Amino acid sequence: MTELDGLKDELLAQVGAAGDLAGLEEARLAALGKKGRITGFMKDLGALSPEERRERGAALNAVKDAVAEAIERRKAELGRAALDARLQAERVDVTLPVRPEAEGRLHPISQTMDELVAIFAEMGFSVAEGPDVEDDFHNFTALNFPPGHPAREMHDTFYLPDSADGRRMLLRTHTSPVQVRTMLNRKPPIRIIAPGRTYRSDYDMTHTPMFHQVEGLVIDETTHMGHLKGCLIDFCRAFFGIDDLPLRFRPSFFPFTEPSAEVDIGCSRKGGELKLGNYGDWLEILGCGMVHPNVLEACGIDSTRYQGFAFGMGIERIAMLKYGIPDLRTFFEADLRWLKHYGFVPLDVPSVAAGLTR
Ligand code: PHE
């Protein structure tokens, strides 16, 4: 027995001394491999008498188990040590500043949408979405455009081919169908904005067939025109970063609001240069109004109990004004030099607290 005890101590010492996984594998082969010490003793068992064989076999198996177990234990230890060493070596200082020259840029439309969302989120709005492909009901009828109403013609609608069930789908001409979907799907109070793509068949210096709008909708029992004004004044001043930016509400017409208004912001055009601020001149930027009772009723909302306001504006337009981008069409030309110039570094996340400008 002392011989096997000696063997066991020797092999365990070898396992314990292995400094890395390669050394441990060497120790394993030296003990349990084909030419290993224990394997060698096992082979000798054949020459023994059955009784001796049983006794020595059992003793050898005990040594084998002890060594195998020690190998597993050492392996786990070495694995942990290797991981620790790697964690030390590959340590990253996450407090280091971001590398200044990020390659990619956020498109000014994405940036402007992020800014809109940040400002309206502060005011308690959440973001709603709807499909780009709409039907006549959501884009027109529920918004109080009766069939044949001339306002439909003004939208230059893209229609899809008639579908099998006879419905004619269209590309939404404004984000207002998201108002309809929101009112049909949830009960007031409602306070949402809906930024997204819109489509009209039009193309020149100031129109592209695809563009972006953001819609706003507030419905509850007491919201009135004063709230609409306050909300848009606060938004425009925060978005353009001009504390005394004047706003002017001009009477207008939309089928889905009554009364309706168009909103102008103060500007100057002196010397052919456009400057926003309190300079006496005016520039139109959005449409708004109190939601028409017909729209509330079409969306299953009791118009004798609920009321509210809606507004809609073009995102390209306010982005161009804020960031001095002169030509609308360049937004969609996918020119990398343009994006490098007008784009935004992705990690500069806009927030009201951190400042919304560059
Ligand atoms: N949907 C209108 C447009 O595209 C904008 C608008 C939205 C006006 C909501 C009033 C209220 O011109």
Pocket test for ligand 1, best of 256, 262, 286 (most atoms within 8 A of CB): 256
At CA 251, angle to CA 139 and CA 134, rounded to 5?
A: 5
pLDDT band per the 50, 70, 90 thresholds, residue 353: low
Quote the ligand 1 centre to 342 CA distance (angstroms): 27
Mean pLDDT of 247-251: 98
Query: Which of 254, 257, 288, 309 should be mutated for ligand 1, with most atoms under 8 A from CB?
Result: 254
CA of 90 to the centre of ligand 1 (A): 54
Measure the CA–CA gap between 130 and 143, rounded to whole angstroms: 15
Measured by CA distance, the residue closest to atom 5 of ligand 1 is 312
Q: Which residue, 258, 255, 309, 313, is CA-closest to 283?
A: 313
Closest residue (by CA) to atom 7 of ligand 1? 312
Token pair, residue 104, equals 């990619």
Is the CB of 15 inside a 6 Å radius of any atom of ligand 1?
Answer: no
Distance 237 CA to ligand 1 centre (A): 20
pLDDT band, very low/low/confident/very high, at 339 (cuts 50, 70, 90): very high
**How many Å apart are CA 317 and CA 210, to the nearest integer?**
13
Mean pLDDT (whole number) for 29-54: 90
Q: Is residue 1 scored above 60 in pLDDT?
A: no
DSSP 211-258: EEEEEEEEEESS--HHHHHHHHHHHHHHHHT-TT--EEEEEEEETTEE
Q: How much is the average pLDDT of 47-51?
A: 89
Instruction: Provide the pLDDT for residue 4.
Output: 84
Q: Please state whether 260 falls in left (phi above 0), alpha (psi between -120 and 50) or beta.
A: beta
pLDDT at 184 over 90: yes
pLDDT of residue 306: 98
Q: Is the pLDDT confidence value at 196 over 80?
A: yes
pLDDT at 358 over 50: no
| HSE, side-chain direction, 13 A CA sphere, residue 130 | 28
* Average pLDDT of the residues of the chain: 92
pLDDT for position 166:
82
Report helix, strand or coil for 273: coil
- Tell me the average pLDDT across 318-325: 93
Indicate if the pLDDT at residue 356 is higher than 70.
no
Q: What percent of the chain has pLDDT over 90?
A: 73
Q: pLDDT at residue 294 above 70?
A: yes
Asked whether residue 354 carries a pLDDT value surpassing 80, the answer given is no
Identity of the residue numbered 154: M
> Measured from the CB, is residue 140 less than 6 Å from ligand 1?
no
Q: Which of 202, 199, 209 is nearest to 175 (CA)?
A: 199
Alpha-helical (H) ranges within 18-126 are: 21-32, 37-44, 50-89, 108-122
**% of residues, the chain, pLDDT over 70:** 96
- What stretch of H or E contains 280? none
- Looking at residue 323, what is its pLDDT? 93
State if residue 144 touches ligand 1 by the CB under 6 angstroms criterion. no
pTM higher than 0.95 for the full model? Answer: no
- Residue 345's Cβ-count burial label (10 Å; 0-12, 13-18, 19+) is middle
- Looking at per-residue confidence, does 150 or 208 come out higher? 208
Third-level CATH fold of 108-342? BirA Bifunctional Protein; domain 2 (3.30.930)
- Is 228's C-beta closer than 6 angstroms to any atom of ligand 1? no
Q: Which of 153, 176, 290 is the best mutation target for the ligand 1 pocket, counting ligand atoms within 8 Å of the beta carbon and taking the most?
A: 176
- Residue 160 CA: distances (Å) to CA of 141, 170, 197, 308: 17, 5, 17, 33
Distance from Cα 23 to the centre of ligand 1, integer Å: 75
Q: Is the CB of 223 under 6 A from ligand 1?
A: no
Distance 136 CA to ligand 1 centre (A): 16
pLDDT digits (tens, 9 = 90+) for 117-153: 999 999 999 999 999 999 999 999 999 998 888 777 7
- Give the residue whose CA is nearest to atom 4 of ligand 1: 174
Predicted pLDDT of residue 46 = 86
Binding site membership of 310 for ligand 1 (Cβ less than 6 Å): yes
For 254-264, what is the mean pLDDT?
97
Has residue 158 got a pLDDT over 50? yes
Does 102 score more than 70 pLDDT? no
